[in-house]
Amino acid sequence: MKAGRYLVGLLSLCSAERSLANITGSDLQNFNATTNGLDFVTVQSSETLGPGIFNLGLFANYAVNTLPRYEDADGRSSSIDDSVVAADFNVGVGLTSFLDIGISFPHVVYQTVDFEGSRGQFGDKGLTEVRGNAKLRLLGDRSGGVAFISSVNVNVTKNNPYVGEDPNPIFNFELAADTTIGPVAIGANVGYRLRDPGKPIEGFPIEPLKDQYLGSLAASYLFTSIDTKLIFEVFSAFPVEETKTVTARQASATEALLGLKYDATSELALHAGAGTELDNGTSSADWRIYTGVNYTFGFKQEEEIVRPVQQKRRKRIRPLPPPPKFIEAAPDPGPQEPAGEGDEVFVLRGVNFAFDSASRVLPGTRDILTDFAEHMKKVGYDRILIEGHTDSVGSEPYNLNLGQQRAATIRDYLVQKLGFDGTKIEVRSYGETVPVADNGNYQGRQINRRVVFRITYPH
């Protein structure tokens, strides 16, 4: 029965062991990029994709010494020589401001096995499982919070002794917490993997795995001058209870990785990095390298409205006018603008300028500016300060000039098309220097590309 001990078609890269957070456990490789592409690589933050925003991800990793060897007392030995190339295609989409979903299709692309004896290896190339997930944000904002994550793994690999014969789907339940302080972001995931394995497969010297605890930590630093994040992660899985063969293959697994995420444009992010095992768990790579790409876009922009986000009253000022009708529909006032000049602040959101553009604004701008003009003419004003703000993609001098051009474009439209008094309008640019959201992801950059109106009313 020696031939029966060879795992035929096993060790799916993303088989039933994948959790949404990252770790896969000891029957597969542990690298698992998130479907929403936000903040880290494999560790989840609490942030969700905004409504109507899609993320497409393609990641590949090359891992050395991950295949299990059943004859070794500790599950593997230093003499093992094997490698696996895997690729994951991910799709994520935001449904609401606090809920997103995703699906992953992991594949085995290539493998080499240069050792003899009873071992596990993939029987063929191709799809190994289908993985679905959902994230519900419980509390917090774009600077941090807490989210609940659930995911399901449907194994399609035949003769996989780690899940058994005719296994039920595996369910993962996790909490993700994170916080952002300036350019630094810190995140942690804890969870539980609920396994309902099938019967042991005859001829294999192992029992199907049982439930597992999950845990991970992540930290990143955003270098805005080069539009790049440095990311460090540690992810682990531990068995809740032993199986008959746990000693032979170490069901626990812990890995660490260090990587870079480069924002080539506001929509396109490129990833590269390397990782290594922190213990000798089965399927923990001696070392791995990975590369990937996330492309994020939105079919549906945020509500096309001008939003008041701050009011500042001075002594003896007459009561501020009520907000215009188009503001009352705002479902979310957005991030708070820093204190500054004026009695009231309005922000153009959802109709922000397109990336790298000073003259092209997203649909709806003319209608919004017309409504804004009617409101200003009705209540009166002494002075309007228009501030131009950009995201961090590009050099600081470039963005400072871009912000100035954008603010000037809005002023010219108000004066030339809507009859405003140009002597009462001042234009100022802050470029990328006053962000109100995370420049490290697509939707944060979209929020930072904004025009701010600071209004001074007659006294």
pLDDT digits (tens, 9 = 90+) for 285-332: 888 999 999 999 985 444 334 444 444 444 444 555 565 555 544 445
Which carries the bigger pLDDT value, residue 314 or residue 218? 218
Sheet holding 450-456, edge to edge: 305-311, 344-349, 450-456, 383-389, 425-431
User: Per DSSP, what are the bridge partners of residue 294?
Assistant: 57, 269
Given a contact cutoff of 8 angstroms between Cβ atoms, the answer to whether 128 and 104 are in contact is no
The angle at the Cα of 434, spanning 429 to 436, to the nearest 5 degrees, equals 130
Q: How many CA atoms lie within 13 A of 97 on its CB side?
A: 11
Mean of all residue pLDDT scores within the chain: 79
Domain residue limits, the chain: 3-298, 305-456
Whether 422 has a pLDDT exceeding 60, the answer reads: yes
Whether 373 has a pLDDT exceeding 50, the answer reads: yes
Which carries the bigger pLDDT value, residue 172 or residue 121? 172
CATH superfamily of 3-298: Nucleoside-specific channel-forming protein, Tsx-like (2.40.230.20)
Q: Of the ranges 109-123, 298-312, 442-456, which is most confident?
A: 442-456
* CA distance linking residue 406 with residue 428, whole number of Å: 10
pLDDT attached to residue 325: 54
Q: What is the CA radius of gyration of the chain?
A: 26
β pairing state of 126-127 and 99-113: antiparallel
Whether 429 has a pLDDT exceeding 60, the answer reads: yes
In CATH, the number for domain 305-456 is 3.30.1330.60
Alpha-helical regions (H) of 31-120 = none
